[in-house]
Amino acid sequence: KDKRISFIFLCCLTGVCLCVDVRQSVSDLLTKPGDNVQIFCSHDKTDYRVMLWYQRSPGDTAMKLIGYLNYQDVTMEEQYKRNFNMTGDLRVDNAKNGSLMIQITGRDEDAVYYCAAS
């Protein structure tokens, strides 16, 4: 069965922030179990060194933290370590680029994904 994955990108997570032009790779796509998906997130705010990834499953109002990049160090929540991975290097003083890779198993990946910068 096809699964729909959607991507939404947030401005930032702090109380006061200037909106950052955050770019995405695609708005949504259909996947099948066994597919591998890579979502790209980028922005030009040179002093934002953290990129966070969230998942919101259908019927759930809560966003769950998948993990985050801090400069180039990856921290993943335990439940996502098996089928999710993220890469990027936020140390540079120019555009920031990161990605979230998802191995589709057909169980818990049908969701909306959010990228945030801070």
98 pairs with which residues across the strands? 41, 88
**All domains in the chain, ordered by first residue:** 22-117 (2.60.40.10)
Question: In angstroms, what CA-CA distances link 56 with 16, 33, 72, 91, 105?
Answer: 24, 19, 24, 28, 17
**What mean pLDDT comes out for the span 90-99?**
82
Percent of the chain with pLDDT over 90: 23
pLDDT confidence bin for 91, thresholds 50/70/90: confident
- The string of pLDDT tens digits covering residues 15-68 is 444 555 666 666 566 777 888 888 888 877 777 788 889 998 888 889 999 999
What pTM did the predictor assign? 0.78
pLDDT higher than 90, residue 4:
no
